[in-house]
Amino acid sequence: MSLRLSTVILPYRRWHEGGRSAWQRAEELGFHTAYTYDHLSWRSFRDGPWFGAVPTLTAAAGVTERIRLGTLVTSPNFRHPVTLAKELISLDDISGGRITLGIGAGGNGFDATVLGQEPWTPKERADRFAEFVPLLDRLLTDDGADGVSHTGDFYSAHEARTVPGCVQRPRLPFAVAATGPRGMRLAARHGQAWVTTGDPKLYETGTAEQSRQALRHQAEKLVKACADIGRDADALDKVLLTGFTPDRGRPLQSLDAFVDFAGRHRELGFTEIVIHWPIPDSDFAADESVFELIAMEAIAQLG
């Protein structure tokens, strides 16, 4: 089974002070996709510079030619399907059809309360996500003159027009982040890819083998969700965003370590592994020379 290698470039650097060069270098290194987080602020970066995902991806589209670009992930925490659809159609046009939308239900971080609301419960997040994704799918797919109208429990649209639609047809691909049954059903029905970071309960005290077993069980849930609607789970890419399993940064310590890590996860059915661009003095600190060696050599060594 072939495996692709992608990266996440966090939007913490000014564009003219290292931001632009990182995206250009990602293309030079041969990464399949360069993603960025779609947050208003995030964890330890909250009190420092942090730029918006959509403007960043727009700028990245202008200075690259081949590499795919995307969010990993967007959530309903501060987004509305109508306005998001318009931005995504614009991004897809500017990039020449190179955008992937990573999308998830969101969490309890800063984004959950920055607009002044109380944080949603897990059930409320799941309820909103279950309405958000199908409506966004319609908006990106239906570019007819009459527009899209919808009245739901959480989101409404009145004759929302999304002409001319996406460059990619019938729309740009969704990579749906999910671990629970409701999210898996959304991935099965609307996703072109499924995204996971592993089991968060194992991050502090779990082992690498326990993590792989948890990922295996998650993948089995996806297979079942696809089977329930008559879809072949092999039609979806399986994406692992690294850095949140018990392995943490160990796979980036050497080329051999990464090849071993990637090979073990390819055996679980993953088709894309995403590594964070190194950030000094953070959870994503890594030797940049090793990171670049992995980008250039790891896939070839996996065969």
Q: How far is CA 272 from CA 112, 259, 268, in A?
A: 28, 13, 11
As given in the structure block, the two tokens for residue 293 are: 């060696």
Domains by residue range for the chain, with CATH: 4-302 (3.20.20.30)
How far is the C-alpha of 126 from the C-alpha of 176, rounded, in Å? 13
As given in the structure block, the two tokens for residue 97 are: 């059809």
CB atoms within 10 A of CB 69: 25
**Residue 187: which H helix or E strand, with range?**
helix 181-190
As given in the structure block, the two tokens for residue 149 are: 């109208």
* pLDDT, one tens digit for every residue, the chain (303 residues): 689 999 999 999 999 999 999 999 999 999 999 999 999 999 999 999 999 999 999 999 999 999 999 999 999 999 999 999 999 999 999 999 999 999 999 998 889 999 999 999 999 999 999 999 999 999 999 987 789 999 999 999 999 999 999 999 999 999 999 999 999 999 999 999 999 999 999 999 999 999 999 999 999 999 999 999 999 999 999 999 999 999 989 999 999 999 999 999 999 999 999 999 999 999 999 999 999 999 999 999 998
How far is C-alpha 216 from the geometric centre of its chain's CA atoms? 20
Give the predicted TM-score (pTM) of the model.
0.97
